[in-house]
Amino acid sequence: MKRITDIPNISNEMKALYEKFWETGDFIGILPHIDAFLSKYPFYREALIFKARSLMAIGRNNEALRCIKMAKRIDEFGLIGRFDEAEIYLKKRKKDESIETYVEAVKSYATELQNGIDSFALSCNPENRERLKTLTRQALSDFFLAGDGDITPFESLASEVRTFKDELEFD
């Protein structure tokens, strides 16, 4: 097995690519930079989705859909890009495919979220599992009910869980 320092930090390169885009907001101008990145890392799913989103923004939906399909082929279990695919189908007036893809995306994210919460809760002592799950469900409910992207419910969740952090560990 390699040392962690032997593995290239592709995420940092991807962050730099995002930053380059946010400096200008130019979807057309960023495409050659994304292509250069993909020539180095052709199987980097996040870059394929970034390219798809850039193509969507300039109305090149067929090309965007191809990028999303390539990303899905690389990792069919990856979640990123699923809502984008549903949006493209809707723009192409393929409403049944759009709805099917949208619902599948919601289900996939919800399932992953539930599995992650359950897995973490199982790592906690039994006395605090339900408390943790209740607080988490409340934070998620508050977040979705507010509907404005306000992260205050998650800050509250962190604050609440910190009050019993020493009792979390499963012995």
pTM, rounded to two decimals: 0.81
What is the per-residue pLDDT for 147? 85
Exposed/middle/buried for residue 101 (C-beta within 10 Å: 0-12, 13-18, 19+): buried
Interatomic CA distance for residues 81 and 69, integer angstroms: 9
Domain count, the chain: 1
What is the per-residue pLDDT for 171? 59
CATH code of residue 87:
1.25.40.10
In a domain, 141, yes or no: no
In a domain, 53, yes or no: yes
What is the per-residue pLDDT for 110? 95
In a domain, 72, yes or no: yes
Q: Which domain holds residue 40?
A: 8-95
The 3-state DSSP class for residue 169 equals: strand
In a domain, 26, yes or no: yes
Q: Are 79 and 107 in contact (CB under 8 A)?
A: no
Nearest CA among 40, 38, 92 for reference residue 30? 38
What is the mean pLDDT for each group of 10 consecutive residues in the chain (171 residues)? 80 91 92 96 94 96 96 91 96 96 95 94 89 96 92 96 87 59
Q: Are 50 and 11 in contact (CB under 8 A)?
A: no
What is the per-residue pLDDT for 1? 58
In a domain, 48, yes or no: yes
